Amino acid sequence: MKTFAHGGFYGAFERRRRIDDDTGVAAEADARAIELAELQPTVPEHEVETHTHADAHFVLLLSGKYISSARGMPAVCLHPVLVYNPPGTTHRDCFRGLEGRFFTLSIPAEALAGRTLPPAAVRAGAIAEQRIREVRDELARWDDVSTLAVETGIEAVLDGLQRRIVDDGEGPAWLSRARERLRDDCAHPPRIEELAKLSGVHPVAFARAFRRRYGCSPGEYLRECRLDHAVDLLRRHPRLALGDVAARAGYADQAHFNRAFRDAFGHAPGTFRRAG
């Protein structure tokens, strides 16, 4: 089976930067460097072998038809999306056809130390996608501040990934049930008592356990779920009125939706939709 070393992918590099953890300058390819790259697919779907990536990395789909076995991904993804692959991921992710572009961010093992991150490949949320897009922007405007901007963006995304933990049997099932309730019905926020009853524990114990496991409060997680749902609606239903998007995602009105969206992404939902 083919194994890709740090920063290796099926694709032709258009732009590429490496940052050494210690010096903050461009470095030779090794597992201690943060690596950013923008690529085009070069291997047809039928020629892509099952392969392993030695390092942890993100793949941001920019365009094209992408097939991924990561949790939360559709059979064929047609919209921009962010996937996190932990170290040792084995898969056959590929493009359907050679029309497409993608951005990758390879992360040294040291950056993951002490973190509780998803043990399997998973689709990251809309806020994480926005942060990675900001990291990608540094490729085009690289200057003496870019290293700091990239490192700060990575820290924010890794922190947020705790909210996307893929349950692997080690966490309590009652926490998973509560999280699924928040994610699957984000338009109808429950009371803490409802979540605690669903979990079979005291509300105080539930709130503490949720934050310890997922790195955020149930309310913070619910707000992220609403933003994720809103982004999906904007991409999948381009003719759906913004007021209807707001209602389906659980916002009180369009003004509330606009404020929450702008706070998270820096621009209004309509601007996001027009940008594609």
> pLDDT (tens digit, 9 = 90+) per residue, 87-103?
999 999 999 999 999 99
CB hemisphere CA count around 109 (13 angstroms): 9
pLDDT at residue number 57: 97
**CB of 175 closer than 8 Å to CB of 210:** yes
pLDDT at residue number 124: 94
Look up tokens 């990395």; give the residue.
Answer: 57
CATH class of 2-164: mainly beta
Reply yes or no on whether the pLDDT at 25 is more than 80: no
The pLDDT tens digits for 212-263 are 888 899 999 999 999 999 999 999 999 999 999 999 999 999 999 999 999 9
Helical ranges in 72-172 per DSSP H? 126-140, 146-161
Report the CATH superfamily, name and number, of domain 169-276.
Homeodomain-like (1.10.10.60)
For the beta carbon of residue 259, count every other beta carbon within 10 angstroms. Answer: 12
Indicate the pairing of strand 51-53 with strand 2-4: parallel
The pLDDT tens digits for 149-182 are 999 999 999 988 887 777 655 678 899 899 999 9
Q: How confident is the model at residue 129 (pLDDT cuts 50, 70, 90)?
A: very high
Rama region for 222: left / alpha / beta (φ>0; ψ in -120 to 50; rest) = alpha
Question: How would you class 249 by CB atoms within 10 Å of its CB: exposed for 0-12, middle for 13-18, buried for 19 or more?
Answer: buried
Reply yes or no on whether the pLDDT at 77 is more than 60: yes
Prediction pTM value: 0.86
pLDDT at residue number 168: 58
Reply yes or no on whether the pLDDT at 23 is more than 70: no
User: Structural domain boundaries of the chain?
Assistant: 2-164, 169-276
pLDDT at residue number 30: 61
Say how far apart CA 171 and CA 3 lie, in whole Å: 30
pLDDT at residue number 116: 86
The pLDDT tens digits for 133-147 are 999 999 999 999 999
Find all residues with CB under 8 Å of 67, minimum gap 6, and list them: 45, 75, 76, 77, 92, 93, 94, 95, 96
